[in-house]
Amino acid sequence: MGLPAALRYKVVVFWLVFVSVFLFFAYAPLPERIDALRDAAVNTAADTVRPYRPNGQQWQPTTLKDSNAKYAYATFLAGNAEDAEKDVYFLGARLLAYQLIHASETRSNTSIPFIVMVTKTVSEAKKDRLQRDGAIVVVVEDLVADWIAGRDPINPRFKDVMTKLRLWELTQFDRICLIDGDTVLMENIDGVFGDPAVNTRTTLDKPNAIRDDEAPQPTEYAFASTAEPSMTLRTPIPRSKLCSEDADSVRQEINHDFPPSEEKQQYQFGPNYLNSGFIVFQPSTDMFAYYVSLLDKSDGRWGEGLPEQNLLNWAHRRPKGNMPWQTLDRMWNIHFPTVQDMEAGVKSLHEKFWNPEHKDLRPYLEKYKWRMLGYFEGLAARTSV
């Protein structure tokens, strides 16, 4: 004789709760504070018991031709020998796809696509996975600066970084928000496209800011970011490696206020040195041509330590340049974040979830990775995606 319906229902509920609790303790990082533990338990249980159920339409890969959007989010991914489970930057791109497309607390307006620009060395399996996660994958030719490729030793991550400049060729979009793959979203960030700093600017005409060996500067541009805040330096960076007109010394602070204070000298290389990990810009073939003309300039015009970041700091230098970068509201993003920054309400944290500078931040960041992996695994099991 079978169990009564009421009893069967209680058994099912018991096992659902049991599995939820087991998954939480098996996969969720252990927060240091009881309120974080409570939130993690609630989120994990909710995601397990009431998973997202997509519509029954068959999955199809998305391409740039499918989009007529005005704005786009984008990140860059280079190839490496790591398998998908160990490639942290691939996981970072997947996390951005999850947060921008799927996660209820951070997902974007459906009219704003997410682009992952990849080099040809990214494996077919990784490209396919990103497409199935909902990203538009764009494969591009490498953009190489000889002075980087010939450097010995070279940080492997820097070998391909100039290729991300090809995002400026995507002129079908009015604005693109470039987000580094080591970024975790806390809230929806669609409002960044309305920040006054991303408005179109007229290029200035300072004669001293024009070089004969550089391509003509565009007549107008849009380029907005934030200054690099202070951090802990594991290895001091020589001044010659930087590119900032007022970075007389490299600060080695552990913490910063929120927002970082110029008066307290809480910017790593001075308030005029931008971080290229979160930029909103106007795509432009003229701007791309200008950037390309800078690729072979290794004459001390800028430091070589952070290749594409220093090139962009030179192209958009302030106050002496003709296309000075504009400052986004600090609430959109911060590099080298602290728990205090997160609690202040910053909407995205530019930090490696697998190895943050401030270790007390790691449990908060890693929970989004586990949530992402669980979401996509569950989605694949139900829909064969």
Residue with tokens 């303790």: 25
**Torsion over CA: 234, 240, 242, 244 (sign):** positive
| pLDDT profile of the chain (385 residues), mean per 10 | 65 68 54 44 40 42 83 95 89 97 92 95 95 96 78 63 96 98 97 98 97 96 93 50 48 64 73 95 98 84 78 95 97 93 94 90 94 92 72
Confidence at residue 270, expressed as pLDDT on a 0 to 100 scale: 79
Q: Which two tokens stand for residue 305?
A: 């330590």
Looking at residue 35, its pLDDT comes to: 44
3-state secondary structure of 5: helix
pTM reported for the whole predicted model: 0.79
CA 38 to chain centre: 28
> How many angstroms separate the Cα of 33 from the Cα of each of 117, 287, 365, 367?
38, 48, 14, 14
Q: Estimate the share of the chain in helix, then strand, then coil, as percent rounded to the nearest 5.
A: 40, 15, 50
Residue ranges of domains in the chain: 5-50, 64-376
Q: Topology of domain 64-376, per CATH?
A: Spore Coat Polysaccharide Biosynthesis Protein SpsA; Chain A (3.90.550)
- pLDDT at site 225: 98
